[in-house]
Amino acid sequence: MAEHEEMVQSADFKDRKVRLVVFGILQIILGSLSALTVPLMIFGMIATAARKDAAESVNVRTMIPGVLLYTLLGVWFIWMGIGSVKVRRWARALILVSSWIWLICGTLGFAFVLLMIPNMYDKMAESGKIPGAVEIVIMCVMVTFMVMFYVIIPGLLVLFYSGRNVKATFEYRDPKVRWTDKCPLPVLAISLMTVGWAISMLWMGIYKWTIPFFGSILSGTAGAIVILILILLLIYTAYGTYKLDIKAWWCALLVIAGWSLSTIVTFSRVNIQDYYDKMGFSGQQLESMKQYCAILGSNMNLFLGFWAIAVIAYLIYIRRYFTKVL
């Protein structure tokens, strides 16, 4: 063991093993906090279902995706934390790729919320239910949380795990070629994104398979068929892009363009509150979201258009990696 440490110190890089352990432990803690949220949410669902007015106040079924999300986040962060502590090459690749996705999506989401804050503040002031000072506190807390969770934390992970010495430490302490080494990290990002997208589409079964589709809203059997086709395309895209198959790259481009066009056309013609209604939200939930639906609807197409352009531009950027035709 001592001999191995001497070899590490003599190598042409600074060993970051201790820092990797620290960052790994922090991610395990973050995952544990996410996992602890799950029983609290389940308890809240049980308590809500036991209420006599549960059917009128909260649709418990619509809370299930939140439970699934925090469960997956808990597993992911703990798994990545263990990989960092054990200095596994796959851990660096997955942490770096997921953190970049987290940072970019979080920053875009935060910018979107900033655009909505003035209208949200005006709506809260018009309702008169919350004192002005409390409104300001709520906004400040929300902005602080979003900056911390969506920008600072992923930014620190990207900054640390992209370091030259960190990369060299992983390669030196784990010389075995891992599955993440067989795909360029920029391409691996698209593969992971499409896997996550496919998983999120499964959750739409909780919302009656409701999906926007080129100017209309599908649900039930029709929606389930469209979503199933989309999931199959996403699975093919995830596997094919990992294998650097040019056909999968074209599939990714068409799916992104088609989905964006379909969603933008739909919400240009359909009120977003009608979309939530078909998803199965209760009357009281719809009423409470009414003021925010107006704000969201007026900005959604702008956000979706920007997102589509950004992703398509990224796909064009990584096109150079796709040379294999199956």
At position 219, the amino acid (one-letter code) is: S
* pLDDT value, residue 77: 96
Mean pLDDT for 240-262 is 94
- pLDDT, tens only, 139-151: 778 788 888 888 9
What is the average pLDDT score of the chain? 83
d(CA 78, CA 92) in angstroms, rounded, equals: 14
What are 50's two structure tokens?
Answer: 């036991």
**Would you kindly state where each structural domain of the chain is located, as residue ranges?**
1-178, 183-326
List of residues 6+ apart from 282 with CB closer than 8 A = 55, 56, 57, 58, 59
Mean pLDDT for 156-171 is 94
Q: Residue with structure tokens 């709520």?
A: 138
- pLDDT, tens only, 268-323: 888 877 787 788 776 666 666 665 655 565 567 778 888 889 999 999 999 999 97
What are 80's two structure tokens?
Answer: 């990545």
Strands of 230-307, DSSP E: none
Mean pLDDT for 35-46 is 80
- The percentage of the chain sitting over the pLDDT mark of 70, rounded to a whole number, equals 79
* pLDDT value, residue 18: 94
* pLDDT value, residue 284: 62
Q: Provide the terminal-to-terminal Cα distance of the chain, rounded to the nearest Å.
A: 46
d(CA 146, CA 139) in angstroms, rounded, equals: 11
| 75-79, 103-107, 168-172: least confident range | 103-107
| 245 three-state secondary structure | strand
